[in-house]
């Protein structure tokens, strides 16, 4: 099967320069909308297209710069022998380290894989030209559409209806050729025409019987008029049976497959591709999840991970796809980047638990569920103030997983995401790691030294807000007032007498006790709890003292969001 080893793109749509090596197997390209994911797939499809009749427009040039040609180069290994022999003067080599060798007489070329580089060039006259090129000095030579078709590239998109017709150049026709029992070159003739000729003979015999009396009467009258009537018969006109293969389509019962739902059509198109025995070639799927329920797209991806005889490229915006894949299969495209970024394997756990983050521009790594909930409340507050929401800004929330948060913040930063960390300050070894994050350019928004987020809130918020926090706790899990009272005062020497409004009067020691107990007992360790206490914070945020850490922490976070 043909394998795309290297893709180079210049001046095509949203990509000015791009150069990327690929391995075989499954390649999932992810990233924010308009980052260039679909452009990469379209570039592969175009440079290896089996069509000569392809339209280009000024808008296909990067920033409509028509003075600079579009150039797309695909370096392919596992070339069919006939094509390798035909373009032998242009054979290049792929070294073990992935570099491309042009001097095929060199010693390093001895162990290299043979490859050909196909280039698509479009100048301002908008006429595409496909050539085979090397970098040894010889002039490029034109490669025919038929030879490009041998690379067997197929794109599964919204326009897959043609895949269900038996037309030359379509996957179904390729499968027909490969499964042809006599192994003849069926390109030499119209298979359906031969079938229809045989059918015509049978129909003509039936017509002759039905119209025998009519024909005899016409012959009798014609003889009287002096017309030679030898061989007159009723038959279908040959011009009415000139049906090409593209008129023969797959049906389910009496319904053409092209009328099925989008998801089913895409799956059936893919089924045709995967049925092609040899070579399987390169399959391109833009937004693999389109038209499919979450369970079916997860099943599809799980099946594709087991395919060993195809190189499959696809893009996605779906978390259901990401969680089925290893980081080895994931490649990140960032707008204006000149290549893809690999996702490190040590981020596998984080990717599985926070797949949405890979589609963001900026990431807030939250120590845990409470911080995620508070950030959601902050986002709601921003919207109430007519500020731009996090989704519009491309900012995502990631669960740092407690002690894993430092590594997760570093990992996302290494992938090129602008990252920050929102966390406690009650673990010594984590506190010592924060300086390393700051040196990497990762902003850290944390509590006063030694404080958890709960302790910080009970220390800083107004007493009215403290009452709201306790009232909310009393509503959770059916806790009664006296149980909460006893848990707060259980560690104190002088326990006051219980009353229903024991927490209604401000008390410094009570602030500290509430903070400690809420941390110890995990009062708010859920995202929905975090959203509630976040609402309590931000509903009266303007009245917080400027010297309080809570005020400073979230003002700084808000500035980072808007930066």
Q: Is residue 68 part of a domain?
A: yes
Residue after which a domain boundary falls, among 95, 120, 148? 148
Decide: 374 and 421 in contact? Cβ < 8 Å: no
Average pLDDT, whole number, for the chain? 86
* Residues of the chain falling short of pLDDT 50: 182-189, 245, 277-279
Using CB atoms within 10 A of its CB, is residue 555 exposed (0-12), middle (13-18) or buried (19+)?
middle
What is the C-alpha to C-alpha distance for residues 101 and 419, in angstroms, rounded to an integer?
39
Q: Is residue 513 part of a domain?
A: yes
What is the C-alpha to C-alpha distance for residues 446 and 431, in angstroms, rounded to an integer?
9
For 291-337, the DSSP string reads T--HHHHHHHHHHHTT--S-EEEEE---HHHHTTS-GGGEEE--TT-
What is the C-alpha to C-alpha distance for residues 297 and 322, in angstroms, rounded to an integer?
11
The pairing of strands 282-285 and 395-399 is unpaired
For 225-292, the DSSP string reads TT---TT------GGGG---GGG-B-EETTEEGGGS-HHHHHHHHHHHHHH--S---EEEESSTTTT-
Q: Is residue 101 part of a domain?
A: yes
Question: What's the structural domain count of the chain?
Answer: 2
A 10 A CB-CB count for 406 gives: 22
Q: Is residue 366 part of a domain?
A: yes
Q: Is residue 348 part of a domain?
A: no
What is the C-alpha to C-alpha distance for residues 2 and 47, in angstroms, rounded to an integer?
14
What is the C-alpha to C-alpha distance for residues 250 and 237, in angstroms, rounded to an integer?
26
Q: Is residue 89 part of a domain?
A: yes
| DSSP label of 69 | P
pLDDT single digits (tens) 80-136: 888 889 999 999 999 999 999 998 888 888 889 999 999 999 999 999 999 999 988
Residue after which a domain boundary falls, among 118, 148, 178? 148
H/E stretch holding 434 reads: helix 428-439
Using CB atoms within 10 A of its CB, is residue 457 exposed (0-12), middle (13-18) or buried (19+)?
buried
Residue after which a domain boundary falls, among 148, 166, 198? 148
Q: Is residue 203 part of a domain?
A: no
Question: Domain residues for 93?
Answer: 3-22+52-148
What is the C-alpha to C-alpha distance for residues 33 and 194, in angstroms, rounded to an integer?
49
What is the C-alpha to C-alpha distance for residues 16 and 13, in angstroms, rounded to an integer?
8
What are φ and ψ of residue 449, in 5° steps? -55, 130
Decide: 485 and 517 in contact? Cβ < 8 Å: no
Decide: 256 and 164 in contact? Cβ < 8 Å: yes
What is the C-alpha to C-alpha distance for residues 173 and 213, in angstroms, rounded to an integer?
44
Measured between alpha carbons, how far apart are the two ends of the chain, in Å? Answer: 48
Angle subtended by helix axes 453-460 and 508-520, to nearest 10: 160
pLDDT at 232: 67
Q: Is residue 387 part of a domain?
A: yes
Please calculate the CA angle 244-264-1 and round it to the nearest 5 degrees. 65
What are φ and ψ of residue 255, in 5° steps? -100, 125
pLDDT at 245: 47
């Amino acid at each position: 099967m043909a394998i795309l080893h290297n893709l180079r793109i210049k001046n095509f749509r949203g990509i000015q320069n791009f150069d990327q090596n690929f391995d075989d197997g499954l390649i999932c390209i992810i990233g924010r909308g308009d980052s260039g994911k679909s452009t990469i797939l379209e570039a592969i499809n175009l440079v290896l297209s089996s069509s000569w009749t392809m339209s280009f427009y000024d808008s296909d040039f990067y920033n409509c710069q028509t003075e600079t040609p579009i150039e797309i180069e695909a370096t392919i290994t596992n070339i069919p022998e006939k094509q390798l022999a035909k373009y032998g003067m242009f054979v290049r080599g792929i070294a073990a380290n992935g570099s491309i060798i042009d001097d095929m007489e060199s010693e390093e070329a001895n162990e290299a894989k043979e490859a050909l580089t196909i280039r698509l060039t479009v100048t301002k006259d908008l006429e595409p030209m496909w050539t085979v090129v090397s970098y040894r000095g010889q002039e490029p030579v034109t490669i025919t559409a038929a030879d490009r078709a041998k690379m067997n590239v197929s794109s599964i998109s919204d326009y897959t209806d043609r895949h269900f017709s038996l037309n030359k150049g379509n996957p179904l026709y390729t499968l027909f050729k490969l499964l042809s029992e006599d192994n003849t070159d069926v390109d030499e003739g119209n298979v359906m025409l031969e079938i229809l000729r045989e059918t015509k003979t049978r129909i003509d015999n039936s017509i002759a019987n039905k119209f025998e009396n009519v024909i005899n009467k016409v012959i009798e009258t014609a003889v009287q008029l002096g017309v030679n009537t030898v061989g007159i018969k009723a038959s279908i006109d040959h011009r009415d049976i000139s049906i090409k293969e593209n008129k023969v389509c797959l049906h389910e019962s009496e319904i053409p497959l092209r009328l099925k739902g989008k998801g089913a059509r895409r799956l059936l198109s893919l089924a045709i591709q995967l049925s092609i025995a040899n070579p399987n070639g390169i399959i391109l799927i833009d937004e693999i999840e389109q038209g499919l329920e979450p369970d079916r797209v997860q099943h599809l991806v799980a099946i594709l991970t087991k395919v060993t005889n195809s190189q499959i490229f696809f893009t996605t915006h779906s978390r259901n796809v990401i969680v089925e894949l290893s980081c080895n299969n994931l490649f990140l495209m960032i707008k204006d980047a000149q290549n893809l970024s690999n996702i490190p394997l040590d981020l596998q756990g984080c990717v599985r638990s926070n797949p949405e983050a890979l589609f963001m521009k900026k990431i807030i790594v939250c120590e845990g569920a409470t911080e995620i909930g508070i950030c959601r409340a902050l986002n709601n507050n921003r919207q109430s103030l007519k500020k731009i929401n996090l989704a519009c800004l491309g900012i995502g929330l990631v669960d740092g997983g407690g002690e894993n948060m430092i590594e997760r913040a570093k990992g996302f930063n290494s992938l090129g995401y602008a990252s920050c960390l929102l966390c406690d300050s009650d673990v010594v070894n984590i506190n010592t790691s924060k300086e390393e994050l700051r040196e990497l350019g990762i902003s850290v928004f944390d509590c006063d030294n030694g404080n958890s987020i709960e302790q910080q809130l009970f220390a800083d918020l107004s007493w009215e807000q403290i009452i709201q926090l306790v009232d909310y706790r009393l509503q959770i899990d059916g806790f009664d007032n006296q149980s909460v009272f006893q848990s707060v005062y259980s560690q104190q020497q002088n326990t006051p007498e219980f009353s229903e409004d024991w927490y209604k009067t401000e008390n410094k020691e009570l602030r500290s006790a509430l903070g400690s107990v809420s941390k110890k007992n995990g009062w708010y360790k859920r995202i929905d709890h975090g959203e509630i206490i976040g609402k309590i914070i931000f509903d009266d945020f303007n009245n917080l003292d400027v010297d309080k850490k809570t005020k400073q922490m979230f003002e700084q976070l808000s500035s980072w969001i808007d930066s």
